[in-house]
Amino acid sequence: MKARSALVYSVLRLLAFLVPFGILMLFPIMREYYWLAAVFAALIGLSLSLIFLRRPLDDLSAGLAESRARAKAAAAASDESVEDAATGAPDGRATE
């Protein structure tokens, strides 16, 4: 996973919440009911992120899948080497 893609996606998601929240807090009624402004801002931010943040989410997901596949391949390779050492077979076949 690239740290840049995770950082970009996180910052854009925060902005998708904070900008509508700031705009809503400009209205006098929302200052009184700040929790309602937070709920509306969360719904607006979720909608904006679903519409406009598809590519950063895809980049982040691809990076996570790639790093998970690398970790799984490394774990499988280490398991095979441990089994080979236990059986004494250098090519992966048990000796009889």
- pLDDT tens for 29-81 read 999 999 999 999 999 999 999 999 888 888 888 888 888 888 887 777 666 67
Residue-level pLDDT at 26: 95
Residue-level pLDDT at 36: 96
Distance CA 6, CA 35 (A): 28
Residue-level pLDDT at 1: 55
Q: State mean pLDDT over 3-11.
A: 84
Domain limits of the chain? 3-86
Instruction: List the structure tokens of 18.
Output: 């904070």
Distance CA 42, CA 51 (A): 14
Closest to 49 measured CA to CA, from 18, 1, 23, 17 = 17
72 to 75, 76, 77, 86, 89: CA distances (angstroms):
5, 6, 9, 21, 23
What does pTM read for this prediction? 0.64
